[in-house]
Chains A and B, each alone.
Chain A
Amino acid sequence: MALRASLITLLFLLLMIIAFIALGKVRISLSKARLVVGLYLALLFVSVPVFYAIAESGVPEPVEIVEIGPGQYRYHDLQINAFYDALHEGRLSEYEGAEIIAQWSFDYQAERLKITAPDYERYATLIAVERKDVRDGKLEVFSYAPKSPNLLTLANPPDIRLQGNQLEILRPEEIHLEAIRFYHDFTMAQFTGTGFSMQRTDYFFGNMVLYLRIPGDLLIDTDESTEHNIHFLNE
């Protein structure tokens, strides 16, 4: 299949070369050529100040590419690692590479709380639970996602509902996101390192975390939908 695709590409290339040679034989008067080329150059040169008027300067960071075997590469994402390190060390709220995309707060006085996700068989998002030092009767829920000036964050927080003794994680309304990412031309990228073929990680997806801050003495129950993905931070 790949060979057939390569063959088609190469045949297309050959056809293009033949077409360009044939078109090159077309005779056009010098004055006409000067006019068209002049107009085209004017258009291109006008686009330069327009571009620098609209573009904001930024420094794209190239992703570290690690060779893990012959012809195999891993795109080492330091930002994701740092995000999870901050989570496991309990300092996500201070970490600048994380943002709260939704939050809820409930008054809750009961001794036990069941965390469940009735819309899911197995809820895929990590649920991190932090016990507070105080028994303030407040249940705080945060939806965190990693953020970076270089990458898009694709995250849609769930709906959270407190129903009796159950904290329910509900499927959110589906959203669709369309985005454009620009890359330097390969002729620039060989000096800047930010070409299309060099950078594969453009966005954070599937890295959302549901972070619960619960009173110190609250007992937590789970069910099949949440038991596999719950993590107690300070226990």
Chain B
Amino acid sequence: MSLTETSILAVAKTQYHYKTKAHAGLFFTLIAVQLLAFLFSLNGVGGSSGGGSQGISYTIKYVTGDMIIFFTLIWAFSIGISMAHNGFKTDFTFVSNRLSSHLSSLAFLLTAAVIAGVTATLCGLLLRVVMFFAHGGVDAGPAFWIAPPALLSGIFAATLYAALLGIIGYLAGMLTQRHPAFVVLLPGLFFGTLFVEARSTGEAHTLISAIEFFSTEGSHALLALKVVLVSAIVFGCVILFSNRMEVRKWH
């Protein structure tokens, strides 16, 4: 029995500080990912061209920060997996249990989500500035302007999505920790469902419905509620699976 009693939250806090130091390299990857997406976006995310018959031909390049955010979300999912794999290794340095480890990982993922959400959205703004000067202040259309509340909404939504994907990645990482078969089973199940649906109905209905559940939400409060609820369910699954893992290992 230890002479000093420590609360789970205090342990989780210490572990969190340690994790932010130990996994600082992940933010290098975030910058690399965003700069890569930034470079891809310089050529536009799409375009249209045509004309000829009326004495005019045109090429229109479409620019958004969508790719930067998309890449950032994949990064968030990946660090969720990384945390599930590497997080425990650092936790054994402390007197800890699974719950404090999960809480510190969750805190780290939320911190990473905030940084990812802010940087991804601002990187999109940097893209606009660069494109504006690179094309000599062209007529960019009214959507070039982003009102400050819209910018904050973008940061808010990007942070929520990054947090959600980070936690889903953490669950995926936990499952692969539980049994190596999940390394093959999870992607197989995901891609298999997509292809079976796409072949039978022409559309990946389940994935599209899941994305639309969040992306069509126009209220900040409801979006936050949806993300928090789904994240709580996913995190509950993480705790449930890891508890079972402990019991199994004891026997």
Contact = CB atoms under 8 A, between A and B. Distances in A.
Contacts of B155: 187
A180 B61 contact: yes
A171 B77 CA distance: 56
Nearest to A178: B59
23 contacts: A3-B198, A20-B29, A20-B75, A21-B81, A24-B29, A25-B82, A40-B119, A47-B125, A52-B148, A55-B132, A56-B145, A59-B142, A155-B56, A158-B55, A176-B58, A183-B63, A185-B154, A186-B215, A188-B146, A190-B217, A202-B60, A202-B141, A205-B56
A30 interface: yes
A208 B141 CA distance: 21
A184 B146 contact: yes
Given A48-B122, A184-B154, A191-B218, A24 B74 contact: no
Contact of B62 (A34, A41, A48, A181): A181
A65 interface: no
B39 interface: no
B27 interface: yes
B167 interface: no
Contact of A152 (B63, B137, B141): B141
Nearest to B32: A23
Interface string A157-170: 01000000000000
Interface residues of B, number: 90
A187 B161 contact: yes
A16 B187 CA distance: 13
**Per DSSP, are chain B's interface residues mostly helix, strand or loop, or mixed?**
helix
B60 A21 contact: no
A26 interface: yes
Given A43-B126, A182-B144, A185-B154, A28 B28 contact: yes
A199 B46 CA distance: 13
A231 to B, nearest CB: 18
A90 interface: no
Nearest to A179: B60
Contact of B142 (A20, A60, A171): A60
Given A28-B28, A184-B143, A185-B66, A177 B57 contact: yes
A24 B118 CA distance: 20
Interface stretch (B18-26, B96-104, B227-235): B18-26
A52 B129 CA distance: 9
A175 B56 CA distance: 5
B200 interface: no
A111 B174 CA distance: 89
A26 B124 CA distance: 27
A58 B135 CA distance: 20
A205 B203 CA distance: 32
A193 B42 CA distance: 23
A27 interface: yes
Contacts of B31: 36-37, 40
Interface in B130-154: 131-132, 135, 137-148, 150-151, 153-154
A186 B160 CA distance: 13
A20 B62 contact: no
A220 interface: no
Interface of B: 21, 23-29, 31-33, 44-46, 48, 50-66, 68-69, 71, 74-75, 77-79, 81-82, 85-86, 118-119, 121-126, 128-129, 131-132, 135, 137-148, 150-151, 153-155, 157-158, 161, 187, 191, 194-195, 198-199, 203, 215-218, 220, 223
Interface string A185-228: 11110111011100100110110100000000000000000000
A14 interface: yes
B79 A179 contact: no
Nearest to A203: B60
A233 interface: no
Contact of A184 (B64, B81, B137): B64
A8 interface: no
A44 B115 CA distance: 12
Contacts of B58: 154, 176-179, 203, 205
B139 A152 contact: yes
B159 to A, nearest CB: 9
A186 B55 contact: no
A149 interface: yes
B143 A28 contact: no
B224 to A, nearest CB: 12
